Chains A and B, each alone.
Chain A
């Protein structure tokens, strides 16, 4: 059995509303999949269906090599080979130790076999000194570690994590993600985790799937999804700042596109679309003084500064080049170029940083 989960024609409806509609969904043994998408896209619902916590309206589902039927007995048996962790730690009013031991005791294991397993995971997640503490006295980070230990102690064959770090502050989240990464890699547990965070997805996941309105719109290696969004919806969700209006000139081994009066040659995508939007990350846009030299081989577009926003460490610079362009600039550069509203600059970027996607109809690249 190489596939831990195999589903087809999966559909979940709440009344008239279709929340999840998947033609096909698979999860391989040892694979870690990040499930991305905006709120209400159906990620958590899909997770609950896969974890056998909710029944789909229709479709077939096979878990751990067994077609899942209607019997609660079978669902319980399969559930006991998996584990689920939710966003809130949801600990019981017991000691930390008893909370972590809970799943093993529910399976009727003897205390002699429970103790070493619980101790091992308490130590691994750095919460062993807190073992006797009542769960209600733990901090948010400690409680979330307890919640993860409670799932990992079960040695699950499949692990489902529903935004497991979202309740933590930034610092606690990063620390826990860095700790979880080797654990998931070593144990090679097939894992599906719901997240909003790009860094979590890139760090923990082999594969990423973007869900929009109940459907998986793109699934690929995590890095590829972020670099090459499949369509406008995915690009917008992933926060691609620039969707530039390109006009297709012709394909001759390379894709030739007209952008702001210049012909740009792009790598030919497998299935070149007729109408194009050019995805460009703001961090790939370099700014130089107007009329000055730019890096050779790059696309150069004169533009005027609209706004300069101190957004985090780099500044976010919004430009007008006949169409909007967003660039990120270090503070040093903002000062050197004297960036302020109305200043003329030269925006340039490597054509290789451009990823073309099909433009929707009517074209979103409206002329203004």
Chain B
């Protein structure tokens, strides 16, 4: 009990003092996962729209692949990105392995199917005749897609936040492709694993609390948005 109480006390101290090491790790996590989510949004929303609105041969297969990808194990992504970015690998010349960019790439691959799959589901939940009605009122195809996206905005936002939630909390891929290098690729999750294994429970607890606070804020924001959407 003493261990836990002491750990918690130290942890709060580290956070409230704004310990430079803890803050640095948190900001890196937020930057890397935020950037990966942004890329997943830019690619995933159009992909989800395409899957939700158009019919083409192989669409079902692609949709099944995307849905499977929503449960992609981070270690498998980590392995794939490691092999590709390895010095002797196909993209080894880019020298990206063990850099924040490598983590961004891995997290992008993890978040993309989440954002695309949930966006496709959100668009398909709209009345299929709504698109025809918009075209029938003189919308161009692009205008119709923008208006449909607006109608599904709460669900699409939820999709993006689910993508962020998936990558901010994953550890396997970040560890494998980032290497957990101090001041460079150490994120909240990889640092927690390291500090726990070293027996530095106060630091590990502080990092975990921050991670919890971030995921809790996301969940809260998500719930608030969904409720607004549901009341709407």
Cβ A103 vs Cβ B138 within 8 A: yes
Interface positions of A from 69 to 104, Cβ below 8 Å from B: 72, 76, 79-80, 82-86, 88, 90, 92-93, 102-103
Would you give the shortest CB distance from B183 to chain A, in whole angstroms? 47
Cβ B232 vs Cβ A79 within 8 A: no
Cβ A160 vs Cβ B137 within 8 A: no
Q: Which residues of A contact B147 (CB under 8 A)?
A: 92
**B127, B129, B135: the one within 8 Å of A79 (CB):** B135
Would you give the shortest CB distance from B126 to chain A, in whole angstroms? 10
Q: Which residues of B contact A106 (CB under 8 A)?
A: 137-140, 143
Known contacts A48-B132, A53-B132, then 6 further A-B pairs from the complex at CB < 8 Å, ordered by chain A residue? A76-B140, A84-B137, A85-B136, A102-B137, A107-B138, A136-B232
Measured CA separation A136–B232 after assembly (Å): 7
Q: Which residues of B contact A72 (CB under 8 A)?
A: 141
CB-nearest residue of chain B to A150: B137
**A82, A90, A107, A134: the one within 8 Å of B133 (CB):** A90
Question: If the complex has contacts A72-B141, A106-B143, A136-B232, are A88 and B127 also in contact, measured as CB distance less than 8 A?
Answer: yes
Measured CA separation A72–B150 after assembly (Å): 23
CB-nearest residue of chain B to A90: B133
Measured CA separation A88–B128 after assembly (Å): 12
A4 at the interface (CB under 8 A from B): no
Q: Which residues of B contact A51 (CB under 8 A)?
A: 136
B220 at the interface (CB under 8 A from A): no
Measured CA separation A84–B133 after assembly (Å): 7
Interface positions of B from 103 to 153, Cβ below 8 Å from A: 127, 129-130, 132-133, 135-141, 143, 147, 150-151
CB-nearest residue of chain A to B154: A93
Q: Which residues of B contact A102 (CB under 8 A)?
A: 137
Question: If the complex has contacts A86-B132, A88-B127, A93-B232, are A151 and B151 also in contact, measured as CB distance less than 8 A?
Answer: no
A154 at the interface (CB under 8 A from B): yes
User: Which one of A51, A79, A83, A90 has the highest number of Cβ atoms from chain B below 10 Å of its Cβ?
Assistant: A90
Pull 11 A–B residue pairs with CB atoms less than 8 Å apart, ordered by A: A53-B132, A76-B140, A79-B135, A79-B138, A90-B130, A92-B150, A93-B151, A93-B232, A103-B137, A106-B137, A106-B138
Cβ B141 vs Cβ A79 within 8 A: no
Q: Which residues of B contact A151 (CB under 8 A)?
A: 137
- Chain B proximity mask over A116-135: 1 for CB below 8 Å, otherwise 0: 00000000000000000010
Q: Which residues of B contact A150 (CB under 8 A)?
A: 137
Cβ B138 vs Cβ A88 within 8 A: no
Q: Which residues of B contact A160 (CB under 8 A)?
A: 136
Q: Which residues of B contact A134 (CB under 8 A)?
A: 232
- Chain A proximity mask over B202-231: 1 for CB below 8 Å, otherwise 0: 000000000000000000000000000000
Would you give the shortest CB distance from A8 to chain B, in whole angstroms? 24
CB-nearest residue of chain A to B133: A90
Closest 4 CB pairs of A and B: A84-B136, A103-B137, A80-B138, A90-B133
Cβ A86 vs Cβ B133 within 8 A: yes
CB-nearest residue of chain B to A54: B132
Measured CA separation A85–B143 after assembly (Å): 18
Q: Which residues of A contact B127 (CB under 8 A)?
A: 88, 90
